[in-house]
Amino acid sequence: MQKYTVVVCDHIHQAGLDMLENDENINFIMAADEPKDKLVSEIIPKADVAITRSSTDVDANFIKHATNMKAIVRAGVGVDNVDIPGCSKEGIIVMNVPTANTIAAVELTMTHMLSCMRMFPYSHDHLKNQRIWKREKWYGYEMKGKKLGVIGFGNIGSRVAARAQSFEMDIVAYDPYIHPSKVTDCDMTYTKNFEDILACDIITIHTPKNQETIGIIGEDEIAKMKDGVVLVNCARGDLYNEDALYNGLKSGKIRFAGIDVFGKEPAIDNKLLDLDNIVVSPHLGANTYESQYNIGTQAATNAIEAAKGISFAHAMNLPIDESKIPSFVKPFLEMGQKIGFLESQMNKSQIIAIKVSGHGEISEYVESLATFVAVGAMSQSSGETINYVNADFVAKEKGIKIESEALADSVVFKNLITIKLTTSEGTTTISATIFDDGVKRIVAIDGFDIEVALKGDMILFKNKDVRGVIGSIGSTLANHNVNIADFSLSRNNESQALAVILVDNAVDESTLKELASLDACISVNYARI
């Protein structure tokens, strides 16, 4: 009977350990209390699968010693301490456990919200530790009748909204990647105007941490909020700009904040802790006994099935044997995922359909390509819960149709892929290839023949084909201290032009609004690859 070695690098719930111990096909090594140097150098080389948490860094040194490893299970949601590209390079599949702590995170959010409204931790301290009985000092606010803005209406945000609704709050939800009916069917208000969120009494955020959401609440957004607003973040650090949050709390613009997550953790020296109108906790989103049981048992299940080769649930990286595909295929898969991600930023609304076409030899792998495109396209809305294994399932759950087609060889390119993304707001189509120099290049966007490298910060400016536009774009960007790295231009037969501008630094909303106000502008989009 074949045995597989599973090494547990960090502590998980005993129920998960019991599952590993009791499986006759598993050789279980508990190494959570071993020194990390011994763990990596002596124990990891024996492992078929490792279970880790945040205490063990899966870095280059770890991967170098993981010579027999099939998979790593991150017991939790976050994979910030895992070098996923490095694992992919060595054929190690990385999995996480994304839904085990959902209820814990939801209930912690409600805890912070109630604590902010009634200042409960402070009144508790006043009586319990200072032994002062002063009821008149602790007048709070009721949640009934207040307007709650929910940023991100996914697995956690929707459940927070449902619980807040039972407090008779009015819910306003912002999530451009879902169908409005998901909100309106619950007798809540759906908005695509972010300023509707800023007008709420309380704001809570439940989004993935990505280029679009980091700093989604900053100085400008706080300035537009109601005086006395309450902010809650139990999702990811840096979604609220911490300097802006500090200034808003200190000035009183923000009456109270409830924060579980920070940009740098442990946050024992964070200046937010100096304020007396903030409730904090040390990243406790998953810290319930039920959640830890779920995480431990799901991690053990995933590790056992991965060791036996049964399945790789919630895989975060490349789930294919690269030795069985031609070397030219993987860069096309990676490019397809990037284009899906790009198109989802160009067309920020509910995805309805994804169609992937392949010309040339890549057409034989177009079904795999479609999976990678879907992961890229849905990552903006699904974040860490989307992966190559569950992409088709998530798409069906969201009502997204995924199609693929193999076409005849292109007369121009050796291999060409075309990705058409249809959303509730329209359609975007991009064609791309990889030339002999290995650089991934877009060769067409929405009928415009244009050659652009697929990288960096990108502005897509569609305009009426009239004189002076290029100069106006250049002047606007210069006025906002945005440096142009590359400027590609194309025309069509309808007196329109498309400029794709690669820039050296991030572009803020005010710059995009000024570009959109130019007389010749038809549309302007911004994406970060």
CB 417 within 8 A of CB 337: no
**CA–CA dist 253, 224 (Å, integer):** 10
> In what side-by-side order are the strands of the sheet with 4-8?
26-30, 4-8, 49-52, 71-74, 93-96
Hey, what are 409's tokens?
């060889």
Phi, psi values for residue 258, rounded to 5°: -120, 115
Q: In angstroms, rounded to a whole number, what is the distance separating the alpha carbons of residues 350 and 373?
A: 16
Q: What are phi and psi of 425, to 5 degrees?
A: -105, -10
Structure tokens at 119: 């200042």
User: Roughly how many angstroms between the first and final C-alpha of the chain, as a whole number?
Assistant: 48
Which helix (H) or strand (E) is 312 found in, with range?
Answer: none
- Residues 284/86, Cβ–Cβ less than 8 Å: no
Q: Distances from the Cα of 159 to the Cαs of 182, 287, 357, 410, 470, in angstroms?
A: 12, 18, 38, 49, 47
Residue 41, C-beta contacts closer than 8 angstroms, at least 6 positions apart: 65
Phi, psi angles (nearest 5°) of residue 376: -65, -45
Residues annotated as catalytic (active site), given as ranges:
236, 265, 283
Radius of gyration of the chain (CA): 25
